[in-house]
Amino acid sequence: MRSTRVLRQALSVEELNKIRVANLHPSIRKGTHFKEPLVVKNAYMQYIYDTSGKRYLDLLGGIVTVSVGHCHPKVNDALFQQAKNLWHSANIHLNSPVHEYAAKLAATLPGDLKVVYPVNSGSEANDLAVLMARVVTGNFDIISLRNGYHGMSPITMGLTGHSTWKQTAPHYFGFHHTMLPDCYNGLWAGCRDSPVQPDRKCEGSNCTSTHCTSADKYVQQLQEIFMYTLPQKKVAGFFIESIQGVGGVVQYPKGYVKKAFELVRQNGGVCVSDEVQTGFGRTGDSFWHFQDHGVIPDIVTMAKGIANGFPMAAVVTTPKIAECLTGAAHFNTFGGNPMGCAVASAVLDVIQEEKLQEHCKTLGTYMIHELNKIREEVPIVGDVRGKGLMIGIEMVKSKETREALPADKMAEIFEDLKNGGLIVGRGGFFGNTFRLSPPMCIQKQDVDSALETIRQVFKKYA
Rounded Cα distance between 64 and 247, Å, is 13
CATH H-level, domain 13-64+355-461: superfamily: Aspartate Aminotransferase, domain 1 (3.90.1150.10)
- For the stretch 41-76, pLDDT in tens is 999 999 999 989 999 999 999 999 999 999 999 999
Q: Is a pLDDT exceeding 90 seen at residue 278?
A: yes
Q: What is the pLDDT of residues 187-221, one digit of tens each?
A: 999 999 999 999 999 998 889 999 999 999 999 99
User: Do 319 and 67 meet the contact criterion of CB atoms below 8 Å apart?
Assistant: no
What are the boundaries of each domain within the chain?
Answer: 13-64+355-461, 77-353
Which positions ≥6 away from 154 have C-beta within 8 Å? 169, 171, 172
What CATH number labels 77-353?
3.40.640.10
What CA dihedral angle connects 295, 299, 303 and 305, to 10 degrees? 30
Using one digit for the tens of pLDDT, what is the confidence trace for 164-175? 888 888 777 899
Largest CA distance in the chain: 78
SS3 category, 210 = coil
pLDDT at 437 over 90: yes
Give this prediction's pTM.
Answer: 0.94
- DSSP H helices in 354-406: 356-377
Distance of CA 164 to the CA centre of its chain: 17
Whole-angstrom distance, CA of residue 247 vs CA of residue 146? 9
85-89, 212-216, 341-345: the lowest-pLDDT one: 85-89
How many other C-beta atoms lie within 10 A of the C-beta of residue 318? 18
